Chains A and B, each alone.
Chain A
Amino acid sequence: MSLTVALVYPELLGTYGDRGNGVVLAARARWRGIDAELVEVLAGDRLPAADIYCLGGGEDGPELRASESLRADGTLVRAVEHGAPVLAVCGGYQILGRTFPSADGRPLPGLGLLDVATVKGTGRRAVGELLAQPLPALGEQSGATAGGGGGWNAPDRGTRGGAASAGRPRLPLPVLTGFENHGGLTRLGPEAAPLARVVSGVGNGDGTEGALAGRVIGTYLHGPILARNPALADLLLSWATGEELAPLDDAEEEALRRERIAAARRMPRWRASGRSQSETPGSSGTSAAARVIDSPSRAQTDVDQTAGSLAGRAGALLATVRSVCQSKFWGPVRSATRSVTGALARAASPPTDRPGGSART
């Protein structure tokens, strides 16, 4: 058996290491004796007939170019009509929807493969660990919807879907872990099901994460998502091959998952408090307005946080006073004063999730 995985426009939609999804799919197929090939399709080249298509996240300009190229090419839409699985991450997810925002917030037409609409949020970007519990629809999709041709955009699905019901994975899929980094706010229409429910993080912005229609999966999870969630990789492979797949020894992936899930569970409190300042969680997208705001603020923060911070001034004053008092025989006192200054410095330092606000030095 052979399998082709297409990495769609990695130079446009590959900002966040999402090419790894294609690497993971090809490797997990090969480890099971399937002759898998990973094909990188550069913008301007025609999309090949492939068994799985992977799209990653990108910047605003490249995102627009990718959506225009995909529409002109036409292959992806036809492949989906014939039941080909698609994994689209972040910017790739947004352009598969009905609309996605331009750099200045205008709605641009997407490919319409997912019944979702993404708008630019008004709050800060969603940046951080994201943990989401997959919804049952994810498992059932392989047989019923995708194969039965009930999808909103595919009245006449091909034969693959029917075959894939044999490869229906055991439910439920384990919790999804990844790293989100987006400003867009995504609303699901009636013909798309959410992929997962957010446990910790932002996701679509309404408590759900990602979307699913037929065998098209859209998600905000980087990591890459399939490296961190091998069960999802195997679900895509079973959709593509229509076969039950032999289990693999995923000890290293499991160790990574345990660590990241624990890290995500430790974070909700500060992330939530950071978000509460703005009514729309996450948002403003892979889109530029947030960044336009972010960038100058990054440059100013260093000054702001010192000029504006009373704690910083108090610390500086205290430190100056202490320098006068400092003398050699005070040695034993040092360890105590160090811990005090340490605490002061921490108190004076900026909130940890402020984008770019923290000192790199």
Chain B
Amino acid sequence: MSAPAGRAAAGSAILPPRARAAVFATRAVSAVSRTLRAGSGTVAGGRAGLALDPRLLEHLAAGRQVALVSGTNGKTTTTRLLAVAIEALLGRAASNSTGSNMPTGHVTALVDAPPGAPAVLEVDEGYLPLLVRSLQPAVVVLLNLSRDQLDRTNEVRMVANRWRAALDARAVQTDAEAERRFRGRVVANADDPLVAWAAMTSAAPVWVGAGLSWRSDAVGCPACDGTLMFPSDPGGAWACTCGFARPPLDVWMQDDDVCFADGRRMRVELKLPGRFNRANAAMAAAGAEAFGVEATEALRRMEQVVEVAGRFGTATIDNKPIRLMLAKNPAGWRELLELVSPVGSGSDLARPVVVGINARIADGRDPSWLWDVPFERLAARHVVAAGERCRDLSVRLRYAGVPHETISDPLDAVRSAARSAEPGAEPAVDYVGNYTAFYDLLARAGQAVPGLEELRAGGSSPR
């Protein structure tokens, strides 16, 4: 798989003067922002650059091989895994590693990279069509689509349709349209019908059986509005009476192995926990191969990743190890509950869980989704409800039959939980926050994460 011909031929582009000025402004403002510690500069710098040249992304992408990663859950992790593999085997890559996944963040990531270096970018679901048009990526990795940020009004079905239009390799009417048509390769999660719908009209998509933990947003057939039939087996193939069905897989997971249709099979032992991270790695491996890096080689590199922008890492608070996790919507929670509420062992059950919930703009201002999370599974655990919307959570936990206390400040909540943890337990406490609540705790605990201030702010909410 090589870079799209048009782009590669453009060579290491000499930027037009306006773009060069924009690059200078991006760097200057980013530097200032960092110096002033107002943030890591990822947003402010990108803003300044785009203000001076709205087509800056196109110019910065010229002569580069670009991979985009989008979806509701797993974007940041998959982007990180893919970038690690590509960097190890192709040299330095540009990547928005802190999850600044809108054009401002992409500008900053590209400006920082040497000319011609490959780019691996996480993209917000709503921006994917725009980024596909302006960056002409070689590879687009599509993970999943489910409800997130309810107040944002983007129905997942509509997002799927917009993805499909942007990736469609068929019918081209005019020269201008042909010029902008997507020529890269889509790596798609075939287990998610909405993702399959979006990818199926692209040129030779790579189908990965990455699983689907949340089906409620996918039961309506995107092709005919009928009802999709899902097998009880989580790895089984869905189908509709209209003929729309899960495509045959090119890559799938079996136990701890990642399997390829050509017969390659590899045991993957990630340091990142959970089934969902193995699925992210399988997606990233298929993405790496489409990018020109052999998939099993890529997986070897991914095994070494221990945390992603603070997620899955460990913080030390009051000398106790705190396991850090991020879950921001029902699908993400379903996956994390596999980790947080394992059946069985006594020491796991004794470990307190602190759940931090905010509802700033970056989180979605409506936390009603808490009622789509099966918190009932935490009934045997000691739970502390924290965050700015801890009262919504406490009511949810009451109706889930989960004994809990409510402490708004996430650091105070973790400290209180740590006091009740078993001596010597490791980790002593599980902390699961949604987006800004997660980074709030890291900041309060003095944990260093690049770009932390901006991640926390995430578009400050009206107060």
List the interface of chain A (C-beta within 8 A of B). 10-12, 14-20, 23-24, 27, 43-44, 59-62, 64-65, 125, 127-128, 179, 181, 183, 222-224, 227-228, 252-253, 255-256, 259, 266-267, 270, 288, 290-292, 294-295, 298-300, 302-303, 306-307, 309, 312-313, 316, 319-320, 322-323, 326, 334, 337-338, 341-342, 345-346, 349, 352-353, 355-356, 358-361
Contacts and interface: CB of A to CB of B under 8 A. Distances in A.
B308 interface: no
B61 to A, nearest CB: 15
A361 B458 contact: yes
B103 interface: yes
A319 B153 contact: no
Contacts of A15: 147, 150, 155, 217
Given A290-B153, A306-B50, A316-B47, A299 B391 contact: no
Given A227-B395, A291-B155, A316-B48, A323 B28 contact: yes
Interface stretch (B63-71, B94-102, B284-292): B94-102
Given A223-B368, A352-B462, A181 B150 contact: yes
Given A224-B371, A306-B47, A259 B151 contact: no
Contacts of A352: 361, 461-462
Contacts of A59: 155-157
A115 B377 CA distance: 42
Contacts of A295: 126, 154, 158-159, 162
Given A181-B150, A320-B29, A358 B361 contact: yes
Contacts of B100: 361
B395 A361 contact: no
Contact of A16 (B47, B50, B366): B366
Q: Is the interface of B mostly helix, strand, loop or mixed?
A: helix
Given A11-B220, A23-B399, A307-B50, 15 more contacts: A17-B150, A59-B157, A127-B151, A179-B151, A183-B153, A255-B394, A266-B463, A307-B54, A319-B33, A323-B35, A349-B459, A352-B361, A359-B362, A360-B102, A361-B100
Contact of B124 (A44, A259, A303, A360): A360
A325 to B, nearest CB: 10
A24 B459 CA distance: 33
Contacts of A259: 391
Contact of A20 (B37, B225, B371): B371
A255 to B, nearest CB: 5
B227 A16 contact: no
8 contacts: A128-B365, A291-B158, A298-B126, A306-B47, A319-B33, A320-B32, A323-B28, A359-B104
Given A252-B391, A270-B462, A323-B32, A361 B152 contact: no
A361 B104 CA distance: 9
A334 B36 contact: yes
